Amino acid sequence: MNALHPYYCCSPRHELSAHVVRRMHEAAQDVWRHDISLTIDSCISGISMPATTSVTLNTGAAMPTVGLGTWKSKPGQVEHAVEFALKNGYTHIDTAAGYQNETEVGQGIKASGLPREQVFLTTKLDNPDQRHPAKALEASLKKLDTPYLDLWLMHWPAPMTRDGKPDREHSWLDTWKAMEDLYIAHPEKLKAIGVSNFSVEFFERLLKVARVVPAVNQIELHPSCPQDDVVEYCQSKGIVLTAYSPLGSDNSPLLKNETVTKIAAKPMHTVLPKSVTNERILNNAKIIDLTPEEISELHDIDKTHHFRACHPSWTGFGGLGFPDCNSMMGRP
């Protein structure tokens, strides 16, 4: 959220592409200032199938595919956006401790008047809190003014100190073990746990010791960064994939990509952008299907125009196992 979501037996190209082209269509009229996220649980790569409105997590819970992300949404704006979205059909809200707006998100949920059990709420454990996840969980619950979370994610497999430096004396594996303990001990507080920004390499390390398979993995995913290896791996493990920055984030070159703008000229709508504008919140709650040919065209963009909006090196832990990031940093 960045943050949010879509699934059933849909191709990852299909869902992502639909979202991207709609945002491209709107970008011609306004400057894109907020990031987007959507969730993808795909079965068959390259085959277009109808978009769906929910996905089933490995816990058995249903997660709405249409949701509002709140990254970069400031206090004074985000509470209104959340309230408006929930009053107009949305039932999924995504935030994070690191976004520093959990209090306002909670206020927006309360102001909507929607019963808590009708809202799917996601937040994330911040990197500097990895040594003390129990304390961080209570802080998030208090700020959001909620007795439980539908989904709690480890934001990055990258423990950090309060001054923003890598905490190399603490292992993110220990953080996951602590999250598992909380999930098992407090099902009334945590309905599901998951991860974010996990590569296949890091997943293999995690699943060797995990007692709980993550319900979700949230990663950067767009036509210039399709991450097919992570998509396929998550599918094989029954892990729902959430895509953030599906348009490549601020000032993305995808905004001017010839393939994207051509397809975006068609009238269409899609899912899960972060926005504080009422009209966009309403428009983005609609989902459409693309043709297999359009999906293939969008997927081919990465062959000549690969980029990442958020390189994991900012954490101080290098490429975090992502092949394109490791090669950029000289790793084999």
10 Å CB burial of residue 304 (0-12, 13-18, 19+) is exposed
For residue 113, the tally of other CB atoms under 10 A from its CB is 9
Exposure string over 33-66, b if 16+ CB within 10 A, otherwise e: ebbbbbbbbbeebeebeebeebbebbbeeebbbb
Q: Which of 20, 34, 11 is nearest to 99 (CA)?
A: 34
To which H or E segment does residue 132 belong? none
Backbone angles phi, psi at 63, to 5 degrees: -110, 125
325, exposed or middle or buried, with CB in 10 Å at 0-12, 13-18, 19+?
middle
99 in catalytic set = yes
Annotated active-site residue in 99, 183, 233, 244: 99
Token pair listed for 86: 């929930």
For residues 304 and 312, what is the distance between their CA atoms, to the nearest angstrom? 22
Provide CB contacts within 8 A for 247, sequence distance 6+: 19, 20, 23, 24, 27, 32, 36, 222, 254, 255
- The residues that are catalytic are 99
